[in-house]
Structure 1
Amino acid sequence: MPNQFGWTPLFSANEKDVAWPFVEPLIHVDENSQPKPWLATDWKVDPDGKFVLFNLRKGVRFHDGTEFNAKAVKDSLGLMVKLKPGEIPGVTSIDVVSEYTVRLNTEYFPSIFWDRMCTRSLISSPTHLAKGEDACKFHPVGTGPFKFSSWQRDTYVKGEKFKDYWQKGKPYLDKFEFIFIKDPMTAAAALMAGEAEAWDQASVKETYDLKQKGFEVQSTPAALISLDPDTKNPNSIYRDKKVREALEYAIDRETITRTLGYGYKRARTQFSAPGYMGYVPSLERRYNPEKARQLLSEAGHPKGFNTTIYAYAVQHPRDIMTAVQGYLANVGINAKLEFLEAGRYAEWRRKSGWSNGLMACYNGGFPFTPNLFSFILDEDRKDHFSMRRPDGCHETLQKLMAAGTFEKQTALSEQLTRLLFDDASFIPLWYDLRAVVLRKEVHDMNLYAGKQINQWNPEDVWIGK
C-alpha cells in the first residue's frame, strides 16, 4: 500500500496509481506522450516556450461540491510547484487568466511537459487542500469518476460512483475496491475464487500460471531494474570504472530472465529498452566471467572483494536477486543481500545515499525515455543519490529537456545512452513488463493494453456475466 494517496502536490508514481479513480489531470497522453483533452479542452504553447495556456472544461465539480475552474488549477498545481520544485520542469508560476483559462509560465518548454502534466499533475479540490497535508493524505478529493469512501491501512481503499461526474452516464460501476494482498499465492487464490476481478502488478510466476488457466493478461514494459554503484564517495571501490564493467560481465542476465522471469522480464544491456527512444543497437557488455575476472585483476582485486546489495523486496524478488548474488560470487565478488523496508530504502536512495555498495533500483517512466532520463539523472531531484553522473551528462540532459522535435529528442537520448554506457555509470539488469491479470467478465479496463502505463480509464470499466 502506498504511503499516501490524497496529498496530490507530493505524489510519487505508486501513490498516483491508487488515486487515479478519484483525481484527474488536465490532459491524457497517447503512446508518443502527445496530449489529449481531459479536464482541459484545448491549449496553446507559446512559440518562444515562455508559457502554456489551458482552456478548461466547464460544468465540472469536485466531489466536495467545489467548482473546477482556473483558480482551482492554480491552487493545486501552484502548491506542487512550491513543494516539489522541478516536478513540472520549467514551470515558474501560474496565473489565472479568466474563470476557465489558466496560464503556466515557463522558463522553457520541456520535452517531458505533457508526460508530467498527465502522470504527476493531478488536480485536487482547493477547498480540501486548504485543510493541509494530514487531512488529505488518505482522503483524495478530485473530479474523478469515483468518490473516496473509506480505507484501512494495508488492507483496502474503497470508492463509490460519483453521480455528478462530468462524463454523463459514467462510470458504469457503482463502486470499486483496491485490496492490498502481500502474498502472491493468496492474491492468485482470491482472483481464482472471484473475490477480486483483477490483479494489478501481479507477480511474474503467478501471472504465467494464471494465463495458462485461461485468465486474460495485459502487459507492457514498465520499469528498468539496475544496480547503482556508490560512485560519489571518493573512497568507494566503485569509483574504478573497471570494477563497474566487471560487474556487468559477471552477470548472465539472459539466463536469469529466461529461467526466473516467466516471459515478464527481459534482459537489458543499456539504459533504454529495444523499441524505445534512446536504444542503441549492439551497445552491450554480454556475459563473460573471464573478462570480469580480468578486469578485477587489472583493478587490483584479483581475489575479488566483499560488498553489499541494498534492495527493496517489493520491487526486487529474492529469488532473482539471489541469482545475481550467485553470479557475482562466481568471479569473487561476495555480495551480501540486504532488503530494506520502504522508508529506509527511499531515504537512502533519494536523500542520504548509500556507502561503498550497490543500490538495486527500480525506475518507471515508460514509454517516454526523456522522462526516465529526467527522473534518474536530474541531480536536482536527488534520486540515485550516491551515483555520480558522467561528464557531459548534465549539459546533454538540459538540451534533451528543451528539445522540441522528435528527431532532436531521439539524437540526444542516444547520446545520453552512450555517455552512461561508456562510463559504466550503472549496471543494467533487466526491464520488467507490468501486468494486470483479469477475469473474463472484466471489460474495457485497458490497463497496460498498449505502451502507456501511466493512465487508464476506470470510468469505462464494466463487468459482464
Structure 2
Amino acid sequence: MVLRMPGLSRRAFGAFGAVAGSGLLLPRTLRAQEEPVRGGTLRFLVDPEPTGLVPLSDTTGANVMLSCKITEGLYGYNLDFSLRPQLAVSHTVTPDGKELTFKLREGVKWHDGQPFTSADVAFSLMTLKASHPRGRATYANLEEVQTPDEHTVVLKMKAPAPYLLNALAGQESPIVPKHIYDGSDVTTNPHNHAPIGTGPFKFKEWQRGSHMIFERNEDYWDAGKPYLDRIIVRFIPDAAARSIAFETGEVDVGGDYPIPYSDLERLSQIPTLGIETRGYGYGPNISAIEFNLDNPYFAKPEVRQAVAHAVNKEILLQNVYYGFGEVATGPIHQAHTQFYTPDVHQYAFDPERANQLLDQAGLPRNDEGIRFAVSHDPLPIGNQHIQSGEYIRQALAQVGIQVTLRNQDMATYIKRVYADRDFDFVNNTMTNSPDPTLGVQRFYWSKNFKPGVPFSNGSHYENAEVDRLLEAAQVEQDPARRVQLFHDFQKIVAVDIPTLNTIAIQTFTIHSVNLKNHTLTADGIHANLAEAYLVS
C-alpha cells in the first residue's frame, strides 16, 4: 500500500496508522499482479548501525531488522496474524497446553552446508530462555525440548503458554546453528557479527561505519527465492542526509521511522516514494521515560509522579512526533485493542502539582531554584529521542530539576544503562510485540532484572502483585480472564510509574515505488524479504 497524504492531517494519519500498523484488522496483502522480477540490488538504509546481527541477547532495532534476512524462525505471520510456515511446517498442541510438537522442514541447510535439524531448534529455544530479554518470560514455563528425530521437536511445558505460538518469528525467536554456538558464550560469539543462518540471504561483509552486504542464498529451501541478488545495507547517521538519500534515490527502503517525522509529509509527496504503515503489528512501539529506581531521587514515588505532571505529552506528540501517533496512557499500545485499557490513572500536565509533590518529597529549591540534578540518556535511534530529551530538560527545569543530557552511540548506551547501570533516567522506545507477555512483561517483571541484558527491566522495578498478575497471564487459557489480568496490571503500574509512557508511536517504512512485496507480513520490513523484488 502506498499512502499519500495531501489534505490528510497528521493526527488523522496517526490514528489510521495505529490500526493499519497493527496488522490486526486488515486482510492479507494481495500479491502483485505482475510476475516477480529476478535480480537487482536492494539498498537498505538502517540507523543506527547495529551492534550485532543475531538477536539472541541484544534486541536493538537494527539488529532485529537485519538479522531476519539471514536467520529464521519456526513461523512467520501474515498481516492477519495467521501462521506462515517457515522452519516448521506444522504443529500440534495437547488439550492441556503443556506439550507442543513441531514438524520441521526437511532438506534445509545452514549457510555453511551443514544440515538443519531438531537439535538446532532445541539449542536455540533453551538459549533464548536463558539470554533473551523477552525470552526469559516467553519460555519461562519451558522445561524441556525433546528431539525424537531430526525433524520433530517436542516442547514440554510445566504450565500452558497461550501466547507462545505468537513468539516464533525470526525476529523474536531466531533459530541458530548449534554447531556454531554450542559451548561458547552466545553473547560474545564472533558469529553474532558474521552470522550463519538458513535464510534467503547470506552474510558477506560488514565494513564498520559504512555498509553491509548480504548475498542471495542459492540453496534456499523456498525454491526460486529470493528474487533479489543482494542487499546492501547503508548506515547514514545524519538525519538530514537520510532524507536526502531517499529524495535522490540513493537508497530504496528503510523502516522504523528512518527519516525525521518533520520530513515525512514532504517526502510523501514525491511520486517515486511510498509510505507504508502496515507491517508493524508484530511490534508496535511506545516511547517512554524509564526511571532508574536505584537512584535516590527516582526511588521516591512522589518524584516520579512530579515528572509525570511536569511533562506535557501533547507537546511531545506535536513537536517531536509531528502528530504521528497518540498520547500513550499506559504500557500497552492502543493498537493492541484486546489488551489495552484507558481506564488507568492519568497525570494531567500540572506543574503546580509537580512542585507540590517535590516539596512533599523533601526536596526544596536551593538559592538558584534547583532541587536536585540528574543526567538523562536518550536512546540513540533516530532524532526523536534526543529532541524528547531536550524538551524533558526544559520541562523539568520549570519545577526545579536540573537535567544534563548525555548523547552517545548505541553500544555505549547499552553498556551504560544495562550493564554498568550508570544512569538516572532515559527516554527510549519499548516494543510491545504481539502479546503483552512477549513485549511488555520484560520491563515490569522483577525476575527480568538482569544487568547486561538490553531492554529488560532497566528500572529495577519490583512489585509482588505485578509479578503475580504477569505470571498468571503467562498461563491463563481463558481469554477473558487473561485480558482482565493485563487490565489490572496496567492500573497498578500507572500509579507506580517506574516508566512514564509518553507516545504510542506511528511507525512507518519509506520505500521506492519500484520495490514490490516488501510488506507481506505482520513484521513487514523486519521479515526476510524473500519475496521482495525491484522493477525499473
TM-score by structure 1 length?
0.89
1:431 corresponds to 2:491? no
Q: Quick one: which amino acid aligns to residue 461 of structure 1?
A: A
Shift of 1:396: 0.9
**Any idea what the Cα deviations from partners look like across 1:245-281, whole Å, max 9, x if unmatched?**
1111111111221122123343223222224243222
Shift of 1:13: 4.4
- With over 3 angstroms needed to count, the CA separation of the structure-2 counterparts of 1:237 and 1:79, relative to structure 1, is closer
Contact preservation (8 Å) 2:378, 2:385: no
Q: Secondary structure at the match of 1:123?
A: coil
Contact preservation (8 Å) 1:64, 1:141: yes
Contact preservation (8 Å) 1:225, 1:363: yes
Shift of 1:24: 0.8
Contact preservation (8 Å) 1:223, 1:364: yes
Shift of 1:25: 0.5
Q: Which moved more, 1:285-294 or 1:248-257?
A: 285-294
Residue in structure 2 matched with residue 292 of structure 1 by the alignment: 354
Residue in structure 1 matched with residue 287 of structure 2 by the alignment: 225
Q: Quick one: which amino acid aligns to residue 306 of structure 1?
A: A
Q: Which moved more, 1:37-46 or 1:73-82?
A: 73-82
Shift of 1:417: 0.4
Residue in structure 2 matched with residue 50 of structure 1 by the alignment: 98
Shift of 1:210: 1.3
CA distance in 1, matches of 2:248, 2:386: 27
Q: Quick one: which amino acid aligns to residue 28 of structure 1?
A: G
Residue in structure 1 matched with residue 441 of structure 2 by the alignment: 374
CA distance in 2, matches of 1:354, 1:261: 28
CA distance in 2, matches of 1:117, 1:454: 17
Contact preservation (8 Å) 1:307, 1:336: yes
CA distance in 1, matches of 2:457, 2:198: 34
Of 307, 311, 319, the residue aligned with 1:259 is 319
Contact preservation (8 Å) 1:184, 1:206: no
Q: Which has the higher contact order (CA 8 A, sep 6+)?
A: 2
**Any idea what the Cα deviations from partners look like across 1:151-210, whole Å, max 9, x if unmatched?**
212322211221222222211111111111111222222222222111223132233331
Q: Quick one: which amino acid aligns to residue 321 of structure 2?
A: G
CA distance in 1, matches of 2:119, 2:442: 29
CA distance in 2, matches of 1:34, 1:399: 26
CA distance in 1, matches of 2:474, 2:325: 29
**Any idea what the Cα deviations from partners look like across 1:114-157, whole Å, max 9, x if unmatched?**
33322332223334445955441222222211122222123222
Contact preservation (8 Å) 1:390, 1:423: no
Task: Give the length in aligned residue pairs.
Answer: 459
- With over 3 angstroms needed to count, the CA separation of the structure-2 counterparts of 1:120 and 1:11, relative to structure 1, is farther
1:240 corresponds to 2:292? no
Of 2, 6, 17, the residue aligned with 2:65 is 17
CA distance in 2, matches of 1:453, 1:107: 33
CA distance in 2, matches of 1:102, 1:309: 46
CA distance in 2, matches of 1:34, 1:396: 28
Of 308, 316, 326, the residue aligned with 2:394 is 326
Contact preservation (8 Å) 1:251, 1:327: yes
CA distance in 1, matches of 2:164, 2:497: 29
TM-score by structure 2 length?
0.78
Shift of 1:32: 7.2
Q: Secondary structure at the match of 1:18?
A: helix
Unaligned runs of 5+ in 2: 1-48, 366-370, 450-455
Residue in structure 1 matched with residue 379 of structure 2 by the alignment: 312
CA distance in 2, matches of 1:65, 1:325: 54
- With over 3 angstroms needed to count, the CA separation of the structure-2 counterparts of 1:454 and 1:249, relative to structure 1, is farther
1:249 corresponds to 2:297? no
Q: Quick one: which amino acid aligns to residue 169 of structure 1?
A: G
1:342 corresponds to 2:403? no
Contact preservation (8 Å) 2:332, 2:432: no
CA distance in 2, matches of 1:319, 1:431: 16
Residue in structure 2 matched with residue 463 of structure 1 by the alignment: 534
Over aligned residues, Cα RMSD in angstroms? 2.6
Residue in structure 1 matched with residue 26 of structure 2 by the alignment: none
Contact preservation (8 Å) 1:60, 1:166: yes
Of 356, 364, 371, the residue aligned with 2:431 is 364
Q: Percent identity?
A: 20
